Structure 1
C-alpha cells in the first residue's frame, strides 16, 4: 500500500545504508552536523542511524538527562546516554546543573532520591531561588479520603492565598487513580482538566451504569434507555430498538411507553416482543424496590442488580486484552462503591430519592466543569509519564504506595531504577510547593486491599519533609484568616450589609 510507519522510516534507511554505501556517503556529506534532543529517550535503531551518519565526522551534539529516562517500556535505551563517551570518544560533556524552575527544597529531595540509582551520570541540581517550604506528607486510610483532602487543600489555597486552580497539578502513576480525584474535585466544585487520557466519567462502562440508574429513576429518558436496553444482550437488537423509536416518534411519546403498549406484538416479532416485555418487567421490579428501600446501601443494591443482569460478566468478556477488561471492571466497581460515599449525608432518605440526588449532582457538576473548561480554568490531573517537560507552581503527588510507585510490574521485572526516575521527574515538576501522600488501603475490584508505603519515601531526607497533620494543627495567622474570609465573601458575592 506504499505506506510506512515511523519505525519503518528508520529501519528502511538503515537497510539502504547497509546495501548502498554510495547513498550512505552522500547522506554523511549532507548531514555534517547532527543535533539530538531528549537523547535519553532514543532507542537502539535511532542510535544505529546516528552512528551511521556521524561515525566519520563525529560532529554530534546531544542533549539529555539520564535521570529522566522513563520510557524503557516503549524501547528507549538509557545506555545510549550512559555510554556516550564510549560511542563518541573525545566528546565534551557539559553539565547543566542549575535549575531555573524549582526551589532548593524540591531539588534537594529530587537529588536525594535519584542518588539511589547506581547507574547514572553524577550531577546535583541547584537553584538560585533559595529554599522553599518543606514537602508536605499526608497519610490517609482510603483513596477517597486522600482525594478529598487534596481537593480541600487546593480550595483552601485558592481562598487563603489566592492561588488559582490552574497553578495546581495532581500527579499519579496510573490512569485508574484519576477516578476518586475526579469525584472529589467535582464534589468540591473545583474545575479540572484530565491530560492524556479519557475522563473517568467518559468511560463506556461508567456511562452504561449511569444510564441504567437514570432509567430506573426516569424510564422515559429515551437517550439512556436506548443506550442500555440491550446491555448485556437480551434480544433487543438495533433493528428492534429502531422500530420502537419510530413508533414513539409517530405517537409523540417515549420509547418506554411504547414498550408498555398492548399492540407491541403487531409491530415486533414474537421473540423481540418477549424480550421487550422482559426488560420492562426487570426495570419495574427494581423501581418498586427503590421506592420502598431505605435501609440497604445503594452501592450494595447497585452491585447486586448489575450482577443479576450479567453486566459484570459481559465486561469481563468484552475485551480481547485481559488488562483492558480488568481496567473496565475496576472502573465499574469503583463507580458503584462511590454511590454510598456520595449519598452518605442523606440519612434515612429512601433509595429512589438518594439515587436521584446522586444523578443530579453528577449532571450539575458536569455543567459546571464544561463552563470552567471554556474559560480555560482548572486543576491539572496528569500521569507521571505525561507530565515530563511540564511545570506547575504547586504539585500534589498521590498514591505513593508499593504496587503503584514503584509499580508491581517494575518490581517483578527488576526495573526499579526507572520507577525511581519517574518519581524524580514527578518531584521536579513542582516550582514552589510539593505535597505527597499515600493510603493505608485502596479499593481494588470492589475489595478493600491493604497498602504499604512506597520504598521511595524512605529515600527522602527527614529534614525536608513535614507530616501534614502538624501543619493542620497550627492556628491560621490573622492576615491569612482575613484574606480567606475576604475571598470567601467574594466567592459568595456577599455585601457588607
Structure 2
C-alpha cells in the first residue's frame, strides 16, 4: 500500500477483505503477521531497518477497519521523534480520527492519562502532589533542586560529597532506583544496613532524595522519573486504577520495547493483565541503554510473562547492502542474549549497482587514523559527490573524537557533533574566535565583551556594558578611552598600560593584512596576543576537567592551535578575514545554521546517539580492544556489560546503507600514555566470519577505495 492512500479511500472498497487486502499490500511475511494479529500478546522482533513503523501504523489502521474504536488504542514510543513520526503517519493515513488515539511518549501518556486523569485521587493528596497546578521539571531545573538539597545537608556531609565527588553518584543512584519504580523509602530498605562498602553513599542519597522530593513539592513540580514512579505507586495503592485503564485502553502498543525499564514494564503489565492485548515491537540486539535503567530481560522474558504470546520475526532489512548485512549478521551470531537468531535478510535489490565491501583497516597510530579518515571524507565530498549530511563518523568513546575533529578542522571540512559539544563550541575555541573577531572587527562589541570576560585587564565586561548603555558607545570605544587614561604625574594608568599595547598590536595586524603581509607573520602576532592575554585562562578552565591538569591544558591549547591553523591557512589561500570569521561564527552557533549549511556538514556522533539513524556512508574509527569492549575486571560480573558492548557495535554497523569503513590504530594516546592495542573482538569476528579480512594499511593518500 502506498503511503499516499488514506483510510477513507480504503473504506471505499466494497468488502472488508478487499479493504484489508489493499492495506496489507506490499508487506513482507513478518510485517504482515504483525499487522494482522490484533488479539492477545504479540512480540514483533524487528531487526535494524526492517520497517517496523510501517507495520506499526498498518496494524493501527487494521484495528480501525475491524471496528475497534480509536479511543481504545494506547500507542507508546520512547522518543519525541518516534512519537512525532508515528503521529504524522497516522494523520496522513487516518485523518481526523488519529487525534482520538492515545499516541505519544511514555512520560507524556502516563502524565496525561494517569496522573492528570486521577488528579483528585487521595493517594496524590497524601503525598502533597497537586496535579491541577503541577509543573513538569526539566533536567536543569531538577539538577538545581538536587543541588539545593545537597546544600541543605549538614556541613560534614557536604564536605564528604565534595571530597568523594559523590554529586553525580547520588543523581545516578536516584535515577537507577526510580527506573525500577523505587521510592526513597523502598530504596533505603533495599540498600541500607547490609554492610556494603558504599553504605554511607546510600544513606546520604536517601537524605538528599527526601529533601529533593520536599523541594519539588514546595515548587509544586514533578520530574520525569517521578512521573512514572508516582503513577506506579498510585496503581499499587489502588488496583482499580489499572482495571479502569484496561477498560478504557483495550489495545496497548509499545515501540522500541528493548529500551523499556522495570517501572515502565510494571505500569503496562498492570493494565495488560486485565485483557491480555499487548503488542510490542523491538530488537533485543539493539538494547544499549542499561545506563539509563533499561533492562534487556524485559524483552527476553516477554514470553515468560505472556505464555501465549505470538513471536513475530521481522528480519528483512530495507537499509543496507549485502556486505554490510553480512558483517552485522556475523556480530549478531555471537550474541548470547537473543529472542531470535537475528540474521537479517536483504530487502533491497542492488542488482546492477556497484556494491562496496566492508573495509576493515588497521593504522599504525591514532593520529594517522584521524588524518587518513579526514582525507577519505574529503575524497567522498569531492570525487565521490556526497553531501556532508550523508556521511557519519560514529565512535564508541568521545576520547577519539578530538583528533578527528582537529583533522577535519585542518582540512576545512564542516561538521556537526550530534548530542555533544562540538570543536567550535568549546570555551577555548570560542575565546580564540572572539580574539580574532575583535582583532579584525574592532566594532564587534559581542566579541569584545567575551574577550574582557576571559582576560585580566582589570576591566570587566560588566563595566563595559554599563559604559555602552550610558554613553551610547561601542565596547571598543570604551577600551580606547581607557587605554589613553592617565593618573598621577600624567602617567598611564595600570589598565592603560595593559590595554595600549594590545590595541596597538591589533591595529598593526589589520594594516599587515591590508598590505598583504605574509600570513605566517600575521599569525605570529596574533598568537603572541593569545599567549599574553588569554592563555592563562585556559589553564584555569582546565582545572575543572577530570584527569591530569597538564593533559587537559594541552588538549585545550591544541584546540586553539587547530583553530588558528584553519583561520590562517585560509588567509594564506587569499580569503578575506571577514569571510572566514563569518563562517566560524556560523560553526560556533549551530542554532543559526541554515538548511544549506546542515546539508554540507559531516555528522560526528556516538554509537548510542546513532541509534534510529542511518547514513549512506559510515566510518567507525577507534575500534580497538581498549575502546570496545574496553578493559573488564570480573568476567562473571561483566558478562552483561560485554554483551551490551557487542550490541552497541552492532548498532554502529547497521547505521550504514552503502559504505562502511571500520578502522583502529595499533598505538593510541590515552591519559598522557601511549597504549599498544589490538583490533576489537567484534572487528576480529567480522574479519574471520566474512570475506573482509583486516587490511594491514599504512601511509597512503587516503583510505582504500571500497572493493568492487
Q: Same fold by TM (over 0.5)?
A: yes
Match of 2:418 among 195, 203, 226: 195
Task: Please state whether the residue corresponding to 2:447 is helix, strand or coil.
Answer: helix
Shift of 1:42: 0.5
Q: Is the 8 A contact 1:134 1:466 kept in 2?
A: no
Shift of 1:13: 1.9
Alignment partners' CA distance in 2, 1:309 and 1:475: 40
Task: Please state whether the residue corresponding to 1:35 is helix, strand or coil.
Answer: strand
The equivalent residue for 1:373 is: 596
The equivalent residue for 1:139 is: 362
Higher relative contact order (CA 8 A, sep 6+): 1
The equivalent residue for 2:622 is: 399
Task: Please state whether the residue corresponding to 2:222 is helix, strand or coil.
Answer: coil
Correspondence 1:434 to 2:645 = no
The equivalent residue for 2:319 is: 101
Alignment partners' CA distance in 2, 1:381 and 1:183: 12
Alignment partners' CA distance in 2, 1:474 and 1:227: 41
Which residues of 2 match residues 313-462 of structure 1 at below 5 A? 313-317=539-543, 322=546, 332-336=556-560, 338=562, 363=581, 365-366=583-584, 373-374=596-597, 376-406=599-629, 414=638, 415-442=641-668, 447=672, 449-450=674-675, 452=677, 453-462=679-688
Match of 2:434 among 188, 199, 211: 211
Relative distance call for 1:8 and 1:257 in structure 2 (3 A) is same
Alignment partners' CA distance in 1, 2:462 and 2:566: 38
Alignment partners' CA distance in 2, 1:389 and 1:401: 24
Shift of 1:16: 1.6
The equivalent residue for 2:261 is: 43
Correspondence 1:117 to 2:306 = no
Q: Is the 8 A contact 2:252 2:272 kept in 1?
A: yes
Shift of 1:192: 3.4
Task: Please state whether the residue corresponding to 2:379 is helix, strand or coil.
Answer: helix
Q: Is the 8 A contact 1:69 1:421 kept in 2?
A: yes
Show CA shifts across 1:208-232 (max 9, x none): 2343466678878654342132425
Task: Please state whether the residue corresponding to 1:198 is helix, strand or coil.
Answer: coil
Task: Please state whether the residue corresponding to 1:93 is helix, strand or coil.
Answer: strand
Alignment partners' CA distance in 1, 2:555 and 2:315: 42
Task: Please state whether the residue corresponding to 1:169 is helix, strand or coil.
Answer: strand
Show CA shifts across 1:233-284 (max 9, x none): 5643344333565799659964442232034789xxx9x9635644656888
Q: Which runs of 5+ in 1 are unaligned?
A: 347-352, 481-497
Relative distance call for 1:106 and 1:375 in structure 2 (3 A) is closer
Relative distance call for 1:19 and 1:241 in structure 2 (3 A) is same
Alignment partners' CA distance in 1, 2:432 and 2:568: 20
Q: Is the 8 A contact 1:315 1:328 kept in 2?
A: no
Relative distance call for 1:109 and 1:420 in structure 2 (3 A) is same
Shift of 1:82: 1.2
Relative distance call for 1:456 and 1:150 in structure 2 (3 A) is same
Relative distance call for 1:232 and 1:175 in structure 2 (3 A) is farther
Task: Please state whether the residue corresponding to 1:139 is helix, strand or coil.
Answer: strand
Q: Is the 8 A contact 1:302 1:336 kept in 2?
A: no
Correspondence 1:467 to 2:695 = yes
Alignment partners' CA distance in 2, 1:215 and 1:115: 58
Shift of 1:421: 0.9
Alignment partners' CA distance in 2, 1:474 and 1:209: 32
Task: Please state whether the residue corresponding to 1:310 is helix, strand or coil.
Answer: helix
Relative distance call for 1:402 and 1:103 in structure 2 (3 A) is same
Alignment partners' CA distance in 1, 2:362 and 2:533: 34
Q: Is the 8 A contact 2:484 2:500 kept in 1?
A: no
Shift of 1:309: 5.5
Q: Is the 8 A contact 2:629 2:646 kept in 1?
A: yes
Relative distance call for 1:420 and 1:411 in structure 2 (3 A) is farther
Alignment partners' CA distance in 1, 2:632 and 2:431: 30
Correspondence 1:274 to 2:503 = no
Alignment partners' CA distance in 2, 1:409 and 1:334: 31
Which residues of 2 match residues 160-175 of structure 1 at below 5 A? 160-175=383-398
The equivalent residue for 1:494 is: none
Q: Is the 8 A contact 1:169 1:379 kept in 2?
A: yes
Correspondence 1:78 to 2:296 = yes
Q: Is the 8 A contact 1:140 1:438 kept in 2?
A: yes
Match of 1:126 among 345, 348, 369: 345
Relative distance call for 1:311 and 1:454 in structure 2 (3 A) is farther
Relative distance call for 1:416 and 1:4 in structure 2 (3 A) is same
Alignment partners' CA distance in 2, 1:336 and 1:451: 28
Task: Please state whether the residue corresponding to 1:305 is helix, strand or coil.
Answer: helix
Alignment partners' CA distance in 1, 2:693 and 2:704: 20
* More moved, 64-73 vs 220-229: 220-229
Relative distance call for 1:14 and 1:384 in structure 2 (3 A) is same
Relative distance call for 1:244 and 1:274 in structure 2 (3 A) is farther
Which residues of 2 match residues 288-299 of structure 1 at below 5 A? none
Q: Is the 8 A contact 1:248 1:254 kept in 2?
A: no
Show CA shifts across 1:286-334 (max 9, x none): 999xx9xx89x97xx8899389953234214558xx58x9997575243
Q: Which runs of 5+ in 2 are unaligned?
A: 1-218, 509-516, 588-592
The equivalent residue for 2:155 is: none
What CA RMSD, in Å, does the superposition of the two structures yield over aligned residues?
Answer: 4.8
Alignment partners' CA distance in 2, 1:358 and 1:331: 29
Q: Is the 8 A contact 2:363 2:696 kept in 1?
A: no
Alignment partners' CA distance in 2, 1:43 and 1:184: 40
Alignment partners' CA distance in 2, 1:156 and 1:18: 60
Task: Please state whether the residue corresponding to 1:229 is helix, strand or coil.
Answer: helix
Task: Please state whether the residue corresponding to 2:380 is helix, strand or coil.
Answer: helix
Task: Please state whether the residue corresponding to 1:133 is helix, strand or coil.
Answer: coil
Show CA shifts across 1:16-53 (max 9, x none): 21222222221122222211111110011001112211
Alignment partners' CA distance in 2, 1:345 and 1:177: 24
